[in-house]
Amino acid sequence: MIMKAYFRAVVSEDIPHIRKFVGEIGDEQDYVPKFIEQWLLDGDAVQIGVFQSAQMCSKDIVGFGQLRSFPNGIGWLEAGRISPQVQQHRLGTQLANYLVNYAFSHGAKVIQYNAWATRDFMGDKSKDQTHGSIGIANRLGFRVKDYVDVLSAKGSELNLSTIPNQTKQPNKLTIIPSAEAYDKISQILTPLPTEICHGWGYYLSCIPEIINNVGDHVTWIVYGEAIAQFIHYDPDLARESPIENELWIILYGDPSDASELLILHLFSYANSKLTSLENISVFCPTHLSSAIIPLGFHYYTEIPSGVALFEKHLD
């Protein structure tokens, strides 16, 4: 059954009610409850609530979503949540459509968002865990712009010492200042993709200043024809990012250089630091995965899976 939806901007009185229904979704690591207060103060983003009656009382809020505006007419949808009691009644689709129209009326030319998806999600919908996000993309005419695999491991699961052909030449491993990241990534990736993954999100490569000013929580490392971002926990980041004892690594470039880069850099960690990492996630183009798996990394599910970037042009 399609339920009728009403929308308005979220106000601070809505926050406890949003936290309540988001909590009922059951993802203990959900970042929405943590950041919602800060998001309301963010001038570059708009937060929209979903209601089932025209009164739109705070206590009756059943959905939430955020639209972030980037320069160059790009709108980014994120943090879409519908109360479990009313999921699968097209409220999520109506919310996304509302945000797309909002973005268009405020000058956006392109809308993007990302979602977890199995690698073959276009072929077999039944295998996907984020049915809702993919269903919304299909219904609203988004196309898949990019896809990266996500592999993970505990620090204690990694097998860095028994890798064949391991050269252990740390002198070739270069940590570069983030101010040089855009130039370096442009040299290594030709042609440069229009978006560069940073985990559960993307940088627009048409805006070099974004890549060159990512902050101290990111270490850029170059090894031969491979480049990596090591993204560390930073409690001050008000967006999806590694939690405590978690590390995200985004890898691009040549497969054997990329796996060597991983081995050499992780090898430089003190054993106690490595084994204290409860989750290391590697985000990489699919052709790199077979070089990464022998190090002890695996997919979340038995089926290869990762991040899909969806895009819709509005003009």
Is position 48 an interface residue for ligand COA (rule: CB under 6 A)? Answer: no
Q: How far apart are CA 138 and CA 133, in angstroms?
A: 9
Q: Is 17 a residue that touches ligand COA (CB under 6 A)?
A: no
The reply to whether 82 sits near ligand COA by the rule CB under 6 A is yes
Q: Please state the closest distance from residue 46 (CB atom) to ligand COA, in A.
A: 17
**Nearest to ligand COA of 95, 110 (CB atom):** 95
Q: Name, in order, each residue with C-beta under 8 angstroms of 259's C-beta and a sequence gap of 6 or more.
A: 163, 288, 291, 292, 294, 295
Q: What is the DSSP letter of 298?
A: B
Please tell me whether residue 80 binds ligand COA under the rule CB under 6 A.
yes
User: Candidates 133-141, 161-169, 214-222, 237-245 — which segment interacts with ligand COA by CB under 6 A?
Assistant: 133-141
State which residue, 112 or 133, has the beta carbon closest to ligand COA: 133
Closest CA to 312 of 115, 95, 145, 199: 145
Binding of ligand COA at residue 135 (CB under 6 A)? yes
Among 9, 13, 16, 25, which residue interacts with ligand COA (rule: CB under 6 A)? 25
Is residue 66 close enough to count as binding ligand COA by CB under 6 A? no
How far is it, in rounded angstroms, from Cα 113 to Cα 44? 16
One-letter identity of residue 98: Y
Site for ligand COA in 109-128 (CB under 6 A): 115
Nearest of 63, 38, 43 to residue 52 by alpha carbon: 63
Cβ-based neighbour number of residue 157 at 10 Å: 14
1 vs 41 by CB, closer to ligand COA: 1
- Please count the CA atoms within 13 angstroms of the CA of 8 that sit on its side-chain side: 15
CA 169, 175, 180, 182 torsion-angle sign: positive
**Candidate list 91, 148, 263, 264; residue touching ligand COA; CB under 6 A:** 91
Taking the least distance from each CB to ligand COA, the nearer of 131 and 172 is 131
Q: Binding pattern to ligand COA, positions 146-185, x when CB under 6 A?
A: ----------------------------------------
Find the length of the chain: 315
Question: Which residues within the stretch 192-211 sit at the binding site for ligand COA (CB under 6 A)?
Answer: none
* Interatomic CA distance for residues 313 and 141, integer angstroms: 9
**Judged by CB under 6 A, does residue 75 bind ligand COA?**
no
Q: How many C-alpha atoms does 10 have within 13 Å on its Cβ side? A: 27
Give the nearest distance from C-beta 145 to ligand COA in angstroms.
Answer: 15
User: What span, in angstroms and rounded, lies between the C-alpha atoms of 38 and 41?
Assistant: 5
3-state SS, residue 110: strand
Q: Rounded to the nearest whole angstrom, what is the least distance from the CB of residue 162 to ligand COA in the complex?
A: 37
Looking at 47, 52, 93, 229, which residue binds ligand COA (CB under 6 A)? 93
Single residue of 20, 106, 139, 273 touching ligand COA by CB under 6 A: 139
Choice from 7, 33, 45, 87 touching ligand COA (CB under 6 A):
87
Q: Taken in order 97, 102, 105, 111, is the CA torsion positive or negative? A: negative
| Amino acid residing at 170 | P
Q: Would you say 153 and 278 are in contact if contact means Cβ atoms under 8 Å apart?
A: no
Q: Which is nearer to ligand COA, 133 or 259 (CB)?
A: 133
The residue from 49, 75, 92, 296 that contacts ligand COA (CB under 6 A) is 92
Q: Which helix (H) or strand (E) element contains residue 51?
A: strand 45-51
Q: Interface with ligand COA by CB under 6 A: which residues? A: 25, 80-82, 87-93, 115, 130-133, 135-136, 139
